[in-house]
Structure 1
């Protein structure tokens, strides 16, 4: 991959750099059993999301010499939902979730003989457009005016701004409805990721328990939840993390205690949904949620609001 990118960077042919890469079957490359074995690839993908990034390697024959490989390249990778992408890579990625098409939704077949000419026309049209609008941001001040536009800076910061501002720049140059659609996409992404925690399995478990807690009718809650019910909630709310936990079949009740101890939670005998069992009080879990997780996105639709739960930090 480094040689492909560097070869394109060294080419004099217009439009050859940056080269776009389309690796497939990421679920096999990043599987539950490949932890740590793809570090070289991860370094390239992590660093190569912006211009100027490079990976340094020692010369295989002359160990005192180093080779600087340009690694900037747009990458669109595909894989099943079982792919275990590193958290650092996810923060640099736009994730598009897809579903298997039904028989009635099958797209028409792509035939190079029939469609290559149309695709070539699209490519040439986009290239002409890009060359024309590039003049509008040729000066740093013109580029900064877009990057620091209040519409995008008001809802993003840090790496989120760095990632989304590149799309916002293209949308602004395209004009029309595109800036609005880009802002809507950013907002939707933030709402969908409010309960997603990129980090340790223990934090992901807390997020899964909270989603489970907020999805159930208020009248059915007891004072806590048992370890067995937490296992069920984890598998339902975050199957990607807990179905093959640590390379095994699935998370177990014993794992629950070890994970939640990281946040100072200890299991006690409580009255849960199915009687008395070892588990955790909601009050203790709420304290951990407030310390570890980002605030949940509130449902502002008054018609669908549930009655408030007394004593709950999520009471509306």
Structure 2
């Protein structure tokens, strides 16, 4: 029997349910979270599942409430704040009946400074992003242990303070929560009442998504200009669902996609190596073709809002600078190393901008107002 549910109207209803209890920092947040709720019902239609992360710098920013509302709308929600890795492996394997949607509150306790004992959970969240990727563990006793593959592909939403490891950040829709202002009002969430209301919407969402399964399977929706690679992987499932819903959702989804991708480029400095390259390009060697190492270190360590003055309790020094830059190569394929620079007082070791230019092109985001020229030979590439 064909389901004639108006997909756009149903997504409007999901969004309205969130708006009753959540204050997200932008309209794009409501769009993204609504589409994520729907995508959790359609995992087998996609090659990957973006993680949904509610993050904030301070407690009391509505992260846990947002996760609670999501919990009412997704299939087989499983709150995993204190779940063991073994329990999650078993649940996602379907041993206990049906693949769950995993909800991690206080995720910072897993990825914080005392996270050594949670390495299995970290691996589980990383591996479960891609369909068909298993996690391998030894099972059994003593000499009778055998390696067993556990399916790990499942939808995961998290809430916590601070940030996540880069490998998860780049696979996530990041909703940066903040404390409500005095004029921002929400309805009190009453578990005994509103869980039932959310579950009714969830059941209708499940029925509608079942009807569009074939429509969104193996579909590669048109991406906004400039969205490619990992951001495209994150947004493909969400845009496919928006296109299937129709109405204003395809346009709103692409506007949200652009907003989130732009925000990720502003907020995410990438790895510490990319941060170093970017700071060298934008703040240290800007307009300069070479500079002695001692001057580079002085400028880096003087930068506000930069990590260089305190890395592991001491400032960046020439040995660590050399080690970090040697991971990158020049246009000729040689490691970036210091070279002799003639100065009025003699010869000093330092770095040339020309040696870093290829790494700047490949790894750094474009400067806001002066994009780098294209790589040689790519000017006319399609």
Q: TM-score range by the shorter chain?
A: 0.5 to 0.7
Pick closer, same or farther for the CA change 1:18–1:243 going to 2, 3 Å.
farther
Question: CA–CA distance in 1 between the matches of 2:89 and 2:194?
Answer: 27
Indicate the structure with greater strand content: 2
Match of 2:203 among 113, 127, 137: 127
Deviations 1:116-164 (A, max 9, x none): 4134212311321331242123x3xx2247x223x22865555443332
Deviations 1:82-125 (A, max 9, x none): x461x3333322223334x276367668553xx54134212311
Residues 167, 182 of structure 1: 8 Å contact kept: yes
How far has the Cα of 1:206 moved from its partner? Answer: 0.3
Q: Are 1:186 and 2:267 an aligned pair?
A: no
Pick closer, same or farther for the CA change 1:231–1:243 going to 2, 3 Å.
closer
Q: Are 1:45 and 2:125 an aligned pair?
A: yes
Q: Are 1:61 and 2:141 an aligned pair?
A: yes
Matching residue of 1:305: none
Matching residue of 1:274: none
TM-score scaled by length of structure 1? 0.66
Pick closer, same or farther for the CA change 1:102–1:166 going to 2, 3 Å.
closer
Q: 1:79-228 counterparts in 2 under 5 A?
A: 79-81=160-162, 83=163, 85=165, 87-99=166-178, 101=179, 104=182, 110=188, 112=190, 116-137=192-213, 139=214, 142-144=215-217, 147-149=219-221, 151-152=222-223, 155-194=226-265, 198-199=270-271, 201-212=272-283, 226-228=296-298
Pick closer, same or farther for the CA change 1:186–1:64 going to 2, 3 Å.
same
Residues 227, 261 of structure 2: 8 Å contact kept: no
Question: CA–CA distance in 2 between the matches of 1:96 and 1:51?
Answer: 24
How far has the Cα of 1:187 moved from its partner? Answer: 2.5
Question: CA–CA distance in 2 between the matches of 1:116 and 1:270?
Answer: 75
TM-score scaled by length of structure 2? 0.56
Secondary structure in structure 2 of the residue aligned to 1:202: helix
Pick closer, same or farther for the CA change 1:134–1:70 going to 2, 3 Å.
same
Deviations 1:31-60 (A, max 9, x none): 4575x7643222211121245443232223
Matching residue of 2:41: none
Matching residue of 2:90: 6
Residues 5, 72 of structure 1: 8 Å contact kept: no
Secondary structure in structure 1 of the residue aligned to 2:135: strand
Task: Tell me: higher relative CO, structure 1 or 2? Use CA pairs within 8 A at least 6 residues apart.
Answer: 2
Gaps of 5+ in 2: 1-84, 329-335, 375-382
How far has the Cα of 1:207 moved from its partner? Answer: 2.0
Q: 1:219-258 counterparts in 2 under 5 A?
A: 226-233=296-303, 236-237=305-306, 239=307, 245=311, 248-249=312-313, 251-254=315-318, 255-258=320-323
Residues 277, 364 of structure 2: 8 Å contact kept: no
